[in-house]
Amino acid sequence: MLEEPTVVYSEPENKSTTHVVHALMQFLLAARYRKNVVLTALLVAGLLGGLYYFTATPYYQASASIMVMGSGSDGTSISGPPERGQQRSPMPTFESLFSKTKALQGAVPLLRPEHCIDFAGAPVEAWPAILKANLSTQVLRGTNIIEISYRSKDPKAAVAVVNAVVESYRAFLDETHKGTAAEVSRLFTKEKVETERRLNQTEQQLQWLQARNEVFRIGKSSHEESLHPKVQSVLFFRKALDEVQNERLRWEGSLAALEAAIRNGQDLQQHVLTLANTAGMELLLTKLGMNRYNSYLQAEIERRLVEAQAQLESMQRQGCGPEHPDVLEKSNTIRLMVQFVQGSQQDATRRADEIQRGELGPLLVGMVRQKLKEVWQREANLKAKCEQATAEAIALNGQLSEIERVQYEVEWLRKERSALLNRIADIELLQDGQEVRTALVQEPTEASKPVSPDLRRVILLVLVGGLALGLALVYVLDILDDRFRSVEEIQQQLKTPVLAMVRRLQAPEATGLDALPMHIEPGSVQCEAFRTLRTALELADQEIRQIVVTSSEPGDGKTTVLANLAVSYAQSNKRTLLIDADLRRPGMTALTGMRGADGLSSVIRGDTEVVRLATACIRPSGVERLDVLPSGPRPTNPAELLASPRFSELLAWAETVYDQVLVDSPPTLATSDAAVIGRLVDGVVMVVQPSKNRRRVVFRAKESLTGLKIPLLGIVVNRIGEDSDRGGYYGYAYGYSEQYEGEEQVDALAEDDRHDAALVAGAADRLPDDEADTAAPSVPRRVA
pLDDT tens digits for range 263-290? 776 666 666 656 655 555 555 555 555 5
Q: What per-residue confidence (pLDDT) applies to 717?
A: 92
Q: What per-residue confidence (pLDDT) applies to 523?
A: 83
CA distances from 215 to 228, 402, 734, 740 (A): 6, 12, 104, 112
Give me the DSSP letters along 396-424: THHHHHHHHHHHHHHHHHHHHHHHHHHHH
Q: What per-residue confidence (pLDDT) applies to 348?
A: 66
Helix axes 558-571, 752-765, angle to 10 degrees: 80
Q: pLDDT averaged over the chain?
A: 77
CA distances from 323 to 315, 320, 331 (A): 12, 8, 10
Q: What per-residue confidence (pLDDT) applies to 329?
A: 81
Q: What per-residue confidence (pLDDT) applies to 307?
A: 84
For the chain, give the number of residues.
784
Q: What per-residue confidence (pLDDT) applies to 486?
A: 74
Q: What per-residue confidence (pLDDT) applies to 215?
A: 57
Identify the CA nearest to 266 among candidates 354, 342, 361, 142. 361
Longest dimension (CA), the chain: 207
- On the 0-12 / 13-18 / 19+ scale of CB atoms within 10 A, 755 is buried
Q: What per-residue confidence (pLDDT) applies to 782?
A: 29
Q: Compute the distance between CA of residue 503 and CA of residue 498 in angstroms, rounded to an integer.
A: 14
Q: What per-residue confidence (pLDDT) applies to 415?
A: 85
- Show the low-confidence residues of the chain (pLDDT under 70): 1-15, 70-89, 177-184, 213-228, 265-295, 345, 348-360, 396-399, 426-435, 507-512, 721-784
Residue 221's contacts (CB-CB under 8 Å, 6 or more residues apart) are: none
Q: Compute the distance between CA of residue 276 and CA of residue 290 in angstroms, rounded to an integer.
A: 13
